[in-house]
Amino acid sequence: MASKTTDFPVKQRQLNDAIKNNDFSRCYLIYGEEAYLRNQNRDKLVKALAGDFGSMNFTRYEGDGLNPGEIIDMAETLPFLADKRVILVENSGFFKNGCPELSEYLKKPSETTYFVFAEKDVDKRKDIYKTVSKVGFELCCDPQDEGTLKTWINSKVVSEGKKISPRALAFMIDRVGTDMSNISTELEKLICYCLDRDEITENDIDAVCANWLTNRIFAMTDAIVEKNQKKAINLYYDLLALKEPPAKILALIMRQFNLMLQVKEMSTNHRDNGSIASAIKLAPFLVGKYVNWSKGYSFDELKKALELCASNDEAVKTGKLDYVISVEMVIIGCTDLK
């Protein structure tokens, strides 16, 4: 079940059945934030309709600034030694900004042409969206909820002749995030790592999978230390878009500044990186990064950053602030520290 729409599983089954039965609509719109699902369904449709992306009766148009007239002219061109011409229009912005010419054409297109539109963003008020919804088929590929992701991961693991416990599944999602492309990549690594065993464990995930969320937090903290407010805010909203809870992000920011303060105190007292790593239970290779980060702040600034995190957390818990806004205020405050 998609997080923003309840009909994704039904629509996905309908699309799969249509492909299996060779029962195609004249035009398709595959859209939404989950790139993995968009690309998977796009490729599935193109393969079913045209054979492959190299077919002489397949044409791809991509990006802003496309000429609708050129696309329509191609649609009116008869296929060569085949019964179908397939046109893929991708990331065009037509469904966000509107395209009256294509909207009108799609109401009565060439009988031999099939359209596949793949877009991240759509505006359902636009005529072209309404037209495709009426005469074709549309599938919203938004980020999936945790339950669906767990089912999907488990099915991929089982298909490789292995198993994974519910606890390990939850640990994996916490470790690598909810982006399906990223999960798929990490699963491939895990399958190879566990080639001679039939179960994927938490220890395997810990050993193989990059801590995606922590790495993203590292990038955001780095931007904060460099006083790069715009980059830090953009990274924060990337995390929100990928369904990371702001409370969790704030806790990790607070943890980072707490670690920076401890590292700064110990490095100032001439403790070596190995003893620092042992004292704060941090991987030795990360200590140098924290040492460099801490140099960008005075002790007072680090303490102010921690106080800001704590006060904003308290403001949220007492109903004075929204969590999303409170974390943004923390980022702005930490990049403005003097």
pLDDT in tens, 148-200: 899 999 999 999 999 999 999 988 887 887 889 889 989 999 999 998 999 99
Report the pLDDT value the prediction gives residue 240, as an integer from 0 to 100: 84
pLDDT at 91 over 80: yes
Q: Which CATH class is domain 212-335?
A: mainly alpha
Report the pLDDT value the prediction gives residue 157, as an integer from 0 to 100: 96
Query: Considering only 18-22, 60-64, 148-152, 175-179, which range has the smallest mean pLDDT?
Result: 175-179
Structure tokens at 83: 């019964």
Assigned CATH for 8-140: 3.40.50.300
Compute the distance between CA of residue 94 and CA of residue 68 in angstroms, rounded to an integer: 9
User: Percentage of the chain with pLDDT > 90?
Assistant: 54
CATH fold for domain 146-208: Helicase, Ruva Protein; domain 3 (1.10.8)
pLDDT at 57 over 90: yes
pLDDT at 60 over 70: yes
Query: Considering only 16-30, 200-214, 247-261, 299-313, which range has the smallest mean pLDDT?
Result: 200-214
E strands, 66-175, in order: 85-90, 113-119, 137-140, 163-164
pLDDT at 85 over 70: yes
Compute the distance between CA of residue 261 and CA of residue 299 in angstroms, rounded to an integer: 7
Which regions of the chain carry the CATH code 1.20.272.10? Answer: 212-335
Report the pLDDT value the prediction gives residue 285, as an integer from 0 to 100: 67
Which regions of the chain carry the CATH code 1.10.8.60? Answer: 146-208
User: What are the pLDDT digits (tens) for 244-285?
Assistant: 788 888 888 888 889 999 999 999 998 888 888 888 877 676
Between 242 and 166, name the one with better pLDDT. 166
Report the pLDDT value the prediction gives residue 8, as an integer from 0 to 100: 86
Which regions of the chain carry the CATH code 3.40.50.300? Answer: 8-140
**How large is the angle between the packed helices 212-225 and 246-268, nearest 10 degrees?**
60
Mean pLDDT of the chain: 89
Strand pairing report for 27-31 and 137-140: parallel
Compute the distance between CA of residue 100 and CA of residue 19 in angstroms, rounded to an integer: 29
One-letter amino acid of 20: K
Report the pLDDT value the prediction gives residue 44, as an integer from 0 to 100: 95
Report the pLDDT value the prediction gives residue 262, as an integer from 0 to 100: 94
Report the pLDDT value the prediction gives residue 2, as an integer from 0 to 100: 39
Structure tokens at 281: 């239970």
